[in-house]
């Protein structure tokens, strides 16, 4: 863990060839004012698309700072399982909380799902959710900022099921426990590790939606006898899926 | 899952011998006004100390409601693992969020931990945390309200280690993964299932504290390469521990 106790900055221009990186705007202010770094300090950079670097502060100007790249760490902090988490719309504050936590535990992509019983009225503040994803990526020191997709209907989302090695639908009324569903992954090799998780809004999925998902190849899993809030169920299932043992 | 889609009420007077239960105060208002129940409706009751019941509304008065107990479900919604979660003090809003989520995923007891680097100034609003625990217990339909203990120092807490089958300390710098640590539980029988989880505040435990815990028999586990916030680490470790497979 080379980055324990270092702070991270978002530097989209960072590439494998970059020798230096310039921070301006919020990232500059965070570095120079909030964290009070000085020339010579070493911090972390993430480009949000797969690359993390250790970089030394070369100079701090009035509105920008120049850093020299010292070492590259491709894929730093990224989990082995690529998890797309599609979640029924709930009240915004709880969805925002979920985005922060999903980024921390290692989700690759978050999809707000429009379902029969989802919260529609209050809408999705996509820009806000994406800012939260960037902040959480820096906080938890990942190489990739998980994308937050445009809201999509369940039937449309189900058309992508073939792109995944496994699609799991969280369902309180299912007879199959999450543990039993994850048995399916016991024979996975390194190459097969993309999962789509579907979690309903408050009230869950309708019988019609469950049938539709099953028809598309999704397997159901219950998360135990306790009735979980949507965001808790989503995080619970994510943690189980992201911790599938490697062979 | 007999209670899917039913709401729950907190009824401390519910016992195995109770034929009827009277709700007043907040629980009455929730039943009669917010949820607008009428005589004949069936709801869930939890006494918070191990018992859940299905009960039929017999009568609704001006400030109280009488319900008749129809069926008892001892231990409803309780997990097989008894998990005590001791967590370094962080800012109150994040600790409150953790209490709600810990109750939902099945933690038995929450202990605010005073450590070398924990937030001390802002204190712990115990009454508020306990109200959150009761609300979450009803929400998720458990038979037991998890206790929220008085804050305690780490050394004092470590004196109780002998009461547990396993003590795990979450530590980002540990060489041992959580998966490897949980291998220790692979041979557990039904009787051995009490775990103490120790999670540091922002900044983690000090080297001295890690040594102290190791001396008391705690084993360390890291939760992967991402730097997790305290409340995320606590929930992550809880979910892994509460989902240890049964033999």
Same domain, A29 and A115: no
Cβ–Cβ under 8 Å, residues A126 and A61: no
Same domain, A91 and A23: no
Closest chain A residue to B107 measured between Cα atoms?
A: A226
Read off the pLDDT of residues A119-174 as tens digits, 9 standing for 90 and up: 877 778 999 999 999 999 999 999 999 999 999 999 999 999 999 999 999 998 89
Q: Judge whether B44 lies within some domain.
A: yes
Which of A188-202, B88-102, B106-120, B137-151 shows the lowest mean pLDDT across its residues? A188-202
- Domain of B168? 82-242
Same domain, A36 and A115: no
Read off the pLDDT of residues A60-106 as tens digits, 9 standing for 90 and up: 999 999 999 999 999 999 998 999 999 999 999 999 999 999 999 99
Q: Write the residue in A140, A172, A179 that is nearest to B228 by C-beta.
A: A140
Q: Write the residue in B172, B232, B235 that is nearest to A1 by C-beta.
A: B172
Q: Judge whether B88 lies within some domain.
A: yes
Nearest-Cα distance to chain A for B218, in Å, is 22
Q: Choosing among A6, A199, A239, which should be mutated to test the B contact, i.e. which has the most B CBs within 10 A?
A: A239
Same domain, A137 and A203: yes
Contacts of A97 in chain B (CB under 8 A): 97
We report the CATH number of the domain holding residue B184 as 3.40.1280.10
* Statement: residue B46 has pLDDT above 70: yes
Cβ–Cβ under 8 Å, residues A13 and A50: no
How many domains does one find in chain A?
2
* Statement: residue B131 has pLDDT above 60: yes
Which of A58, A74, A90 represents a domain boundary (last residue)? Answer: A74
Same domain, A17 and A91: no
Taking an 8 Å cut-off on Cβ atoms, the answer to whether A236 and B105 are in contact is: yes
We report the CATH number of the domain holding residue B35 as 2.40.240.20
- The pLDDT assigned to A70 comes to 97
- The pLDDT assigned to B149 comes to 97
Nearest-Cα distance to chain A for B133, in Å, is 14
Question: Which of the 8 DSSP states describes residue A216?
Answer: T
User: Cβ of A197: how many Cβ atoms within 10 Å?
Assistant: 26
Q: Judge whether A201 lies within some domain.
A: yes
Tokens of B62: 């001006």
On the CB side of A228, how many CA atoms lie within 13 Å of its CA? Answer: 24
Which of A42, A74, A106 represents a domain boundary (last residue)? Answer: A74
Q: How confident is the model at residue A247 (pLDDT cuts 50, 70, 90)?
A: low
Q: Choosing among B97, B183, B243, which should be mutated to test the A contact, i.e. which has the most A CBs within 10 A?
A: B243
Which of A46, A74, A102 represents a domain boundary (last residue)? Answer: A74
Q: Judge whether A233 lies within some domain.
A: yes
Contacts of A76 in chain B (CB under 8 A): 225
SS3 content of chain A, % helix, strand, coil (to 5): 30, 30, 40
Q: Judge whether A14 lies within some domain.
A: yes
Same domain, A87 and A70: no
Same domain, A13 and A49: yes
**pLDDT above 90 as % of chain B:** 84
Same domain, A46 and A136: no
Which residues of B lie closer than 8 Å to A, measured between beta carbons?
1, 3-4, 76-77, 79, 97, 101, 104-106, 139-142, 172-173, 178-179, 203, 222, 224-229, 232, 235-236, 239-240, 243, 245
Taking an 8 Å cut-off on Cβ atoms, the answer to whether A139 and B227 are in contact is: yes
Q: Judge whether A1 lies within some domain.
A: no
- The pLDDT assigned to A246 comes to 60
Read off the pLDDT of residues B132-146 as tens digits, 9 standing for 90 and up: 999 999 999 999 999
Same domain, A131 and A206: yes
Same domain, A69 and A114: no
Contacts of B178 in chain A (CB under 8 A): 243
- What rounded mean pLDDT belongs to chain B? 93
Query: What whole-number distance in Å separates Cα of residue A211 and Cα of residue A206?
Result: 9
Nearest-Cα distance to chain A for B68, in Å, is 24
Same domain, A144 and A228: yes
Q: Choosing among A97, A170, A227, which should be mutated to test the B contact, i.e. which has the most B CBs within 10 A?
A: A227
Q: What is the ipTM metric for this complex?
A: 0.91
Nearest-Cα distance to chain A for B228, in Å, is 6
Same domain, A65 and A133: no
Contacts of A226 in chain B (CB under 8 A): 77, 104-106, 140-142
Q: Judge whether B3 lies within some domain.
A: no
- The pLDDT assigned to B5 comes to 75
Residues 6+ apart with CB under 8 A from B224: A77, A79, A106, B177, B178
Q: Judge whether B113 lies within some domain.
A: yes
Read off the pLDDT of residues B52-77 as tens digits, 9 standing for 90 and up: 999 999 999 999 999 999 999 999 99
């Amino acid at each position: 863990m080379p980055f324990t106790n270092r702070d991270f900055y978002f530097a989209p221009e960072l590439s494998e060839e970059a020798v230096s990186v310039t921070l301006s705007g919020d990232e500059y202010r965070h570095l120079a004012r909030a964290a009070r770094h000085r020339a010579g300090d070493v911090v972390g950079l993430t480009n949000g698309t797969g690359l993390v670097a250790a970089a030394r502060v070369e100079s701090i100007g009035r509105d920008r700072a120049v850093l020299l790249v010292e070492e590259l760490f491709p894929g730093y902090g990224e989990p082995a399982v690529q998890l797309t988490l599609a979640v029924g719309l709930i009240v915004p504050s709880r969805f925002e909380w979920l985005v922060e936590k999903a980024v921390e535990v290692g989700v690759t992509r978050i999809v707000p799902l429009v379902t029969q019983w989802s919260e529609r009225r209050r809408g999705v503040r996509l820009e806000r959710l994406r800012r939260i994803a960037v902040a959480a990526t820096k906080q938890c020191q990942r190489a990739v900022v998980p994308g937050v997709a445009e809201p999509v209907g369940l039937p449309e989302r189900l058309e992508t099921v073939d792109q995944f090695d496994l699609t799991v639908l969280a369902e309180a009324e299912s007879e199959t426990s999450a543990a039993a569903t994850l048995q399916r992954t016991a024979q996975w090799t390194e190459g097969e590790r993309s999962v789509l998780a579907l979690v309903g809004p408050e009230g869950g999925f309708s019988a019609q939606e469950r049938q539709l998902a099953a028809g598309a190849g999704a397997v159901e899993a219950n998360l135990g006898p306790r009735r979980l809030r949507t965001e808790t169920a989503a995080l619970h299932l994510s943690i189980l899926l992201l911790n599938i043992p490697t062979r």
